[in-house]
A and B are shown apart, each in its own frame.
Chain A
Amino acid sequence: SAVISQKPSRDICQRGTSLTIQCQVDSQVTMMFWYRQQPGQSLTLIATANQGSEATYESGFVIDKFPISRPNLTFSTLTVSNMSPEDSSIYLCSSLRDTFSDEQFFGPGTRLTVL
């Protein structure tokens, strides 16, 4: 089953700056997902990233704010742009366990604090 790692594990950033979060999967996967978990809340899907195509964003999320790259079948990045304190959240990437599974596995998350 897929093992997912994320970098950085946490960061503290200044308002107005941008942070790029990396997600690495140890096997080739078609779809990767990016979620946000605001403090004390549940998870909300930001976008789905397919290799070789534009990411698909959910309602309320836009590419200018959360640009995503998916250069190959094992890697993706999410950038949180022009950050404000409201962007303070845990950001998690996920993928399906394998090609034949509906089980979705998650990375350890990136805890972002914006001052």
Chain B
Amino acid sequence: SQQGEEDPQALSIQEGENATMNCSYKTSINNLQWYRQNSGRGLVHLILIRSNEREKHSGRLRVTLDTSKKSSSLLITASRAADTASYFCATDSVGVQGAQKLVFGQGTRLTINP
């Protein structure tokens, strides 16, 4: 079952604006990762934030984590047309026989309008 729920499911903004996507999860985590996927291709790893971290930056990306609310947000500043993609959060979980696995949210489809 999906652990993460992302909000909104779709977001359309003008180039240059900031985009914020949210992710909520249900169980305790060690870390949370954000990924980008362009047009059904492979996933590009954006950032990992650990449960003991509250905020992390990478270029135009800012990720926050609130473990008390079991939620995370991804902020993309000064958006560009090339940022148009689907964005997924993924939390670590323990799968069958103790194997570590990622559980993905449903994703946010971001469209940047020129």
Contacts and interface: CB of A to CB of B under 8 A. Distances in A.
B43 A92 contact: yes
Interface string A15-51: 0000000000000000101000100011111001000
A42 B44 CA distance: 14
Given A42-B2, A48-B95, A92-B43, A58 B101 contact: yes
Interface string B36-78: 0000111111001000000000000000000000000000000
A94 to B, nearest CB: 8
Main secondary structure of the interface of B (DSSP, over half): strand
Given A102-B30, A102-B92, A103-B33, A48 B99 contact: yes
Contacts of B104: 42-44
Interface residues of B, number: 27
A81 interface: no
A56 B95 contact: yes
Contacts of B35: 106
B24 to A, nearest CB: 14
A48 B95 CA distance: 9
A102 B31 contact: yes
A104 B46 CA distance: 10
A21 B65 CA distance: 36
Interface of A: 6, 31, 33, 37, 41-45, 48, 56-59, 90, 92, 94, 97, 102-109, 111
